[in-house]
Structure 1
Amino acid sequence: MNLHEYQAKELLKKYNVPVQEGYACSSVQEAEEAYRKIKTDTGSKFAVVKAQIHAGGRGKGTIKETGINGVKVAKSMEDVEAFAKGILGGTLVTVQTGPAGKVVNKIFVGQDMYYDGPSERQEFYLSILLDRSKGENVIMYSTEGGMSIEDVAHETPEKIFKEWVHPSGRLLGFQARKIAFNLGLSGVAFKNCVKFVTNLYDAYVGLDCSMLEINPLFKAADDKIIAVDCKMNIDDNAMIRHADLVALRDVTEEDPTEVEAGKYNLNFVKLDGNVGCMVNGAGLAMATMDMIKLSGGEPANFLDVGGTANAQTVEAGFKIIMKDPAVKAILINIFGGIVRCDRVAAGVIEAYKNMGNINIPIIVRLQGTNAEEAKKLIDESGLKVESAILLSEAADLVKKAVA
């Protein structure tokens, strides 16, 4: 589950991780009130207005309707009002959203971090995620903060450091000190960084994050170490341990068809092709998508109905796939191991009848337990459904359908 910046920062506070203070706002009036509070509470003369969407590159992205960036520095109440009006309700396009962009429903009005002080300010990069190749958590960090880490990796890979932590233990003191040292910190800033990284790692583990990114990690003029931005992803499989966090899910940021699929416990990912596919098992789904491409088509989705496919799940899958106007054919590829093929065939027939008029080719390939009986059921159903047992047969039918 992805979280917005303002949500992630509130969670980090519970782990004593210093963050840029601010307020989430849904209207211009709320933004103006937030600016007043920031001036009173922090003494900050300026404020930062940030669009809240589940995508990076907001500072360089632009609002389609107004042409302004997704992150702006406001130097007055008039600026706050203008930026709030120009961002809220607009469509923000960044390198991560694609040309379609995402609608901005909230903004974060935060304190200005460039306040005066005795020492230099610096921006760093730091993230924590799972390194699957080692089976350990890895802290990746760099002195080059405030910019795309992909650019840093490409242009100056020597400036990226990594520290691995075994998932059964905590971040050790010498590791936290090593990170602060490699970032070039000393004195009070060094001590603050050690404490920051230690608490941040505790938050990563305690919240069951799959990814936690701070960019920039900011060394303020008074040597405080602060999370100015935060991207947080919580492992969906761990949500049973975090019932209090379920309400933080923002379904408006997710693909509507994927949200609907989740209601039926279907694993669905929207793609850009022309052949819809419905499969049981992730491995078979990947092989099916490859077969579609080899047949001259392009997969329109990844849809795994699981090992207990029945008429209800098949019908739900049909409806979700049919919502895509680009789909020219649907391929159902089921391996009957846990579930019998004849039961799946009966479910396909029932779903087809319930849905009424379907004007695109439906190809059903069932293999495994009672595959022959399943093919007979479909062939004798009188419906416009073509059946196959071999994968090569299904591939030929897909090729014909998209030709």
Structure 2
Amino acid sequence: MSSPPQRMIRRDAEAQIRSLALGFPAVAVIGPRQSGKTTLVRSVFPHLPYVLLEDPDTRAFAEEDPRSFLIHYEKTGAILDEVQRVPELFSYLQGVLDANQRPGQFILTGSQNFLMMERISQSLAGRVGIVKLLPLSMGELARAGLEAERYEDLLYAGLFPRPYSSAVHPRDFYSSYIQTYIERDLRLLKQVQNLSAFQTFMKMCAYRSGQVVNYSSLAHDCGITHNTAKEWLSLLETSMLIVLVRPHHKNFNKRLVRMPKLYFTDPGLAAHLAGVQGTDDLIYHPLRGGLFESLIIAEFLKFRLNRGKESNLYFWRDKLGHEIDCIIEYMGWDPIPVEIKSGRTPSPDFFNEIAYWNELSGNAPDRSFVVYGGDRSQRRAAGHLVGYRDLEPIIRYLE
């Protein structure tokens, strides 16, 4: 059976990329491998020559004679894909951009964000507009006619574009993805010598999706040191495979938890690392709540990043165990509390923590939200009940 034709899914980040290309001589689109960076920039800039620096011959030319390599594109500009593979180019590119201030000359992409950002800050600071691209959002899928029937489908299949634009099964995609990341990307980093231990570490992180990080417990379970656990978690965060949501500072005279919460930016990756075998496994799986929370947190984060903004997401938890899953900092106003529940049937208990927060903070119910696994959004006395497909009432606070 032949594969279906590749489907182009329009990305929300397109408008921000076009805007930056009108003001900066270069634009960098960074994000996890396979998040759709190349497809996006080639669709936005079809007139620019496309240069893949993972191609051995092209990379050799750029490494051996970077000045002559760039001369080919001084007049036309170019898309330089996986540009971090040739670090020497950044210094020479600085000279080209300074000599010709024309906006939108070079579009740079990279999946090894730790290397990309280091090179940009060293050589191209002030010359490059930056967009961080995560996998697809639920809204992007829905507009493409690919909306999932159940959220468990999203938790298992994830939101990377490839399984939606081709015939590849999510199981095969993630198996290849994990091996590529570990065996290819991490080999370029001196911090990881034991790749097998790192794969175990990723699995242990997946089991902790939606939980407050306990570095000592994580290190113990993986047979590594406390400092190594911190370092490796930082690598996953810089790779944009996870996000560490920091605790909010408001304490209301209560002692607060100081460690961050761990979320995967794609729930499908976490599900496959944790050994989930199919969508139906997730109906009663102990990880379902954490993966659902990851899905919603990632949706909020994508909205910000697609518009060129950094995260404004936090969580709040005191030593008594009271917790708000997500606190949104909103333009200097009082923060917005959001609870996240995977249950499909609304329950008054959903609002217990919201009520506790509002009593402490003086926040109003009309600025309080519970996202749940059902479809019906309702206005309740304690706050807004929001179906997971209908996040618009919350999105306005992410602007």
- TM interval, shorter chain, is under 0.3
TM-score by length of 1: 0.27
Higher relative contact order (CA 8 A, sep 6+): 2
Larger radius of gyration: 1
Higher helix share: 2
